[in-house]
């Protein structure tokens, strides 16, 4: 009765691990993977289409100082984002795109709200 659990532990130590050692090795992502949003501020025409189409109201338009003066740009709350891709599809100049970046670690919820300057790659 006592030997059975010990035998299970001994067998499990010789098996191949299922988990990946994250910082050292990373998972390969499929082509259709949707991660963090990226914004090209130079091509954004501040049409607000992305904010209007977002089903979770994740995107807010905020004022940002640019080279050409103040302009409304999208601010994204990645905590609420569904990564549905509607904002990317509706964007006329295609300045808002989903990347394959999947690193979302944070100790503070406010860090998930990303200003337009931070969305620019």
Report field, pTM of the whole predicted structure over 0.75:
no
pLDDT score recorded for residue 20? 65
Location of structure tokens 């509706």? 90
Section 25-54 average pLDDT: 89
Residues 84-118 pLDDT 10s: 999 999 999 999 999 998 888 888 888 889 899 88
By DSSP bridging, strand 59-66 and strand 37-39 are: unpaired
Residues 57-83 pLDDT 10s: 999 999 998 888 899 999 999 999 999
DSSP character at residue 112: G
CATH of the structural domain 32-119, one choice from 3.40.109.10, 3.30.230.10, 3.30.70.3270, 2.60.40.10: 3.30.70.3270
Burial of residue 100 (CB within 10 Å: 0-12, 13-18, 19+) is exposed
Location of structure tokens 């994740």? 58
Question: How far apart are the C-alpha atoms of 85 and 10, rounded to whole Å?
Answer: 47
């Amino acid at each position: 009765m006592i030997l059975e659990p010990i035998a299970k532990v001994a067998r499990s130590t010789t098996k191949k691990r299922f988990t990946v050692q994250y910082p050292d090795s990373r998972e390969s992502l499929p082509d259709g993977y949707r991660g963090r949003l990226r914004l090209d501020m130079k091509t954004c025409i501040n049409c607000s289409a992305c904010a209007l189409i977002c089903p979770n109201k994740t995107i807010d338009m905020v004022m940002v100082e640019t080279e050409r003066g103040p302009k409304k740009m999208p601010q994204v709350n990645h905590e609420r984002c569904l990564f549905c891709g509607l904002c990317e599809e509706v964007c006329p100049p295609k300045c808002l795109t989903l990347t394959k970046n999947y690193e979302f670690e944070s100790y503070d919820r406010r860090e998930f709200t990303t200003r337009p300057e931070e969305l620019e790659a």
